[in-house]
Amino acid sequence: MEHDQRPVGELLRQWRLRRGLSQLEFAIQADVSSRHVSFVETGRTIPSAAMVERFAEHLNVPLRERNRLLLAAGHAPVYRHRAADDPELARARDAVRRVLDVHEPFPALAVDRRWNLLFANTATRVFFDDVDPELLRPPVNMMRIGLHPNGFARRLRNLEQVRGFLLPRLARQAAQTGDAELRGLYAELRAYYPADEAMPIDPAEVALPIRIRHGDTELCFFNTITTFGAAFDITLDEIAVEAYFPSDTATSDYLNTLAQSVSS
């Protein structure tokens, strides 16, 4: 892992500011004195590994970045980072694939922290049909496919509404994590429609509807996002499973029929 040369106090201060907390507010949350927080941030005190973990927990710092904080404070990193295909993660991969498989005939997929596709079930073909092959070259980024004019954005019946949800969400994620690649992705996606304002979400909706055309049929979904609980591996901590559910009977019937035609 690349070592961040900045002092741990500066890094912790940045995380505190990202969370919108004053030194006093953070000190109360972490149950330490504001003087101690000030000393750590200014470099007058080097925190122990336990204190780094304590600060990171209250600042909701991702595991990957906790390792950077530990290194910056002169401590060994704690959290391992394995490749998604590492044999030691076989059980976790099996669990993800099982979740995707049991969700058939409805779409479900797994992405990493930057929305790159890791796994997908067969039903996701309703999203990938007619997508420009260039967008399907690895790494396949689901945010890019969703909003690119040559992705399935051109089949979204409520593109402005979906954009009105996804772009602010991506901007918040980039700001909260400080991830430069996410900031770049946001700038790219925002530039697809520079003069077009995204439509705000209708407050009457209980969940964001995703209305997409497949052939001559309009399908409507809502989605859920699931993550691993109590993950101590960076890779697992960063995996999210998106499951799409039919919002109406017509969509459910269509997907069931489509699945039967594929299996027969």
Structure letter (DSSP) for residue 32: S
* SS3 category, 94: helix
pTM for this prediction: 0.85
pLDDT of residue 45: 96
Radius of gyration of the chain (CA): 21
pLDDT of residue 38: 97
Distance CA(124)–CA(133), nearest Å, equals 16
Share of the chain above pLDDT 90, in %: 79
Please write the tens of the pLDDT for every residue from 193-205: 876 655 555 655 5
Res. 151 pLDDT band, cuts 50 70 90:
very high
pLDDT of residue 229: 79
Residue 2 clears pLDDT 70, i.e. is over it: no
Residues 6 or more apart whose Cβ sits within 8 Å of residue 260: none
pLDDT of residue 47: 97
Share of the chain above pLDDT 70, in %: 94
Please write the tens of the pLDDT for every residue from 200-219: 556 555 678 999 999 999 99
Please, are residues 27 and 39 in contact by the beta-carbon 8 Å criterion?
no
Give the residue from 94, 52, 64 showing the smallest Cα distance to 177: 64
Distance CA(138)–CA(125), nearest Å, equals 16
Residue 261 clears pLDDT 90, i.e. is over it: no
Distance CA(82)–CA(79), nearest Å, equals 10
Please, are residues 211 and 199 in contact by the beta-carbon 8 Å criterion?
no
Angle CA(57)–CA(233)–CA(224) in degrees, nearest 5?
80
Give the tokens for residue 235.
């890779």
Q: Which domains does the chain have, with CATH numbers?
A: 8-72 (1.10.260.40), 87-263 (3.30.450.180)
Residue 150 clears pLDDT 90, i.e. is over it: yes
Phi, psi of 145 (to 5 degrees): -60, -40
Phi, psi of 123 (to 5 degrees): -65, -15
Please write the tens of the pLDDT for every residue from 96-149: 999 999 999 999 999 999 999 999 999 999 999 999 999 999 999 999 999 999
The predicted model gives 229-244 an average pLDDT of 90
Residues 6 or more apart whose Cβ sits within 8 Å of residue 215: none
Res. 176 pLDDT band, cuts 50 70 90:
confident
Please write the tens of the pLDDT for every residue from 62-95: 999 999 999 999 999 999 988 888 898 999 999 9
pLDDT of residue 195: 63
Phi, psi of 224 (to 5 degrees): -125, 155
Please write the tens of the pLDDT for every residue from 155-168: 999 999 999 889 99
pLDDT of residue 201: 59
Give the residue from 240, 252, 239, 223 showing the smallest Cα distance to 104: 252
The predicted model gives 241-253 an average pLDDT of 97
Phi, psi of 99 (to 5 degrees): -60, -45
What are the percentages of helix, strand and coil residues in the chain, rounded to 5?
A: 50, 15, 35
Q: How many helices (H) and strands (E) does the chain have?
A: 12, 5
